[in-house]
Amino acid sequence: MRLIPASLLWRTFFIIAFLLVLSVLAWIQIFRIYEREPRSLQIAQQVVAIVNLTRAALVSSRPEARVYLMREISNSERIEIYPVEADEKLEAAPDIRGIRRVESLIREKTGPQTRFAFRRNGAEGMWVSFRIDDDEYWVRLRRDRLQSPVPWQWFGWGLLALTLALLGAYLLVRRITRPLRALAVATHAIGRGAVPPALAEEGASEIAEVSRAFNQMARDLKTQEQNRALILAGISHDLRTPLARLRLGLEMSPDAGLRDGMVGDIEQMDQVIGQFLDFARSGQDEAAAPVEVDLAALGEQLVREAAAQGRQLTLTGAHAPLMVMAHAAALRRALVNLIENAFKYGGTEPQVSLTLGASRQGVVIEVLDRGPGIALADVERLKQPFTRQDDARGSADGTIDSAQGGSGLGLAIVERVARQCGGSLDLLPRAGGGLCARLGLPRLPGT
């Protein structure tokens, strides 16, 4: 269990709150120290006044009437007076600085012969002795007479001031961390390949400068992405026109062997150009709003298209609608690329399966084949654009087949689409041999 919060907001708030509480406790202790001496003097004066008045009353009365007078004082003034006994049991007060100071102040007024006790014969209270001639008496003062009422109103005002200070600290720290939170959200959006809205360039000068620099970086990245997509689309479009003329000329060639070989090369070049266009489009999809896509319906459509091409694609897990939020065209291109790779590198008789399922995190799409697979050390590298590994994903016998050559953009397109949808692409070894290309996407809320 994490005891220290992870967010800057709560860490800073708890530090400020700790310092505020520590400051309040320090002020309470200072108040107690400076209040102790006046309080001790007040108690001492009160005790001295009671003892002197009691002694004066007894001195002025007749000796035979003192017992009656002590009873009357006890009943009317709640001041108990007892004569000192020879076998009485006394217990001194605790060795506390405040009590010792009160006793010292009382002796200064009544004389050094004054004695004190915390308990007398088991009865608690503040016992103070005084003498009348040769007789000694005890005055018992109950503690409630010497205790001042607790200043609850001061505690209430102090608690209110502390609450307002903590609330102000929270609002202040929240105002500081809000731009940082917005910056983190925008950074994650760029990491997914999306274009985040511009950050507000306001607040403290340092925060505003960071937001301004981030907005400039986001604009530069967007411009570079648009320029790259424009270049790829332009080159791809310009190349397809002469390729079409070459193919038309080759179709009329009398040499069948030369014609078939060159037509195959032209088709491969056309596929590479198509991947360039797909890669350019995957960047343009960011501007479009995502829509609800039924993966079950999309999977059935891909199975029908594979069957029309004479390929067998097995679909499992499409028993009910499985909805996600995605760019429909981009998601379709990603699945088509994974399926094409599975058929291309799945061996002489490829066995390709498309599996749909749900997990706690969202929706899982798996494209499985029985090809050579991909080494785990090469997985992340192969997700980068223009990266190929023909020796691992070549023909069934491990040789490099020119008919299977590509641009190295297929997995890069799938990776970009996964990030745009807030998901991930994993390339895992399949049990029994082969590759499992797993595309994880967040599920549509409420499904």
The SS3 of residue 124 is strand
Please report which helix (H) or strand (E) contains residue 42, including its range.
helix 8-60
Q: What is the mean pLDDT of residues 105-129?
A: 86
The CA distances from residue 99 to 28, 37, 92, in Å, are 20, 11, 11
What pairs with residue 425 in β-bridges? Answer: 439
Contact criterion met (CB below 8 Å) for 192 and 420: yes
Supply 200's token pair.
């507000």
Contact criterion met (CB below 8 Å) for 408 and 392: no
Measure CA 100 to chain center. 54
Q: Is domain 8-146 given the CATH code 3.30.450.300 in the classification?
A: yes
Size of the chain in residues: 447
392-397-400 Cα angle (round to 5): 60
What pairs with residue 363 in β-bridges? Answer: 358, 441
56-58-60 Cα angle (round to 5): 70
Tell me what pLDDT residue 366 has: 92
Tell me what pLDDT residue 404 has: 45
E strands, 78-144, are 80-83, 90-91, 116-120, 123-132, 135-141
pTM of the prediction?
0.46
Neighbours of 10 (CB within 10 A): 15
**Residue 204 DSSP class:** S
Fold of 188-286: Helix Hairpins (1.10.287)
Tell me what pLDDT residue 442 has: 86
Q: What is the mean pLDDT of residues 418-425?
A: 83
The CA distances from residue 361 to 246, 284, 422, in Å, are 50, 27, 11
Q: What is the mean pLDDT of residues 353-358?
A: 90
Which of these, 383, 369, 376, lies nearest to 418 by C-alpha position?
Answer: 383
- 344-366 burial, b for 16+ CB within 10 Å, e for fewer? bbbbeebbbbbbbeeeeebbbbb
Distance between CA 336 and CA 377 in Å, rounded? Answer: 25
Q: What is the mean pLDDT of residues 212-221?
A: 84
Identify the architecture of domain 288-441 in CATH.
2-Layer Sandwich (3.30)
Residue 62 has pLDDT above 90, yes or no: no
Distance between CA 415 and CA 386 in Å, rounded? Answer: 13
Helix 328-345 / helix 410-420 crossing angle, nearest 10 deg: 150
Q: Which of 24-33, 345-354, 364-373 has the highest mean pLDDT?
A: 364-373
Instruction: Note every long-range contact of 185-190, with CB atoms under 8 Å and residues 24 or more positions apart, other chains counting.
Output: 186/214, 186/218, 187/214, 190/218, 190/221
Tell me what pLDDT residue 313 has: 92
Split at pLDDT 50, 70, 90, the class of 218 is confident
pLDDT in tens, 148-176: 555 667 677 777 888 888 888 888 777 77
The pLDDT mean for the chain works out to 77
Q: What is the mean pLDDT of residues 186-198?
A: 76
Distance between CA 278 and CA 410 in Å, rounded? Answer: 9
Contact criterion met (CB below 8 Å) for 343 and 311: yes
Residue 445 has pLDDT above 80, yes or no: no
The sign of the dihedral angle between the CA atoms of 280, 281, 283, 287 is positive
Residue 354 has pLDDT above 90, yes or no: yes
Measure CA 110 to chain center. 68
Which of these, 94, 97, 114, 100, lies nearest to 48 by C-alpha position?
Answer: 114
Domain spans of the chain, in order of start? 8-146, 188-286, 288-441
- End-to-end Cα distance, the chain: 31
377-414-442 Cα angle (round to 5): 100
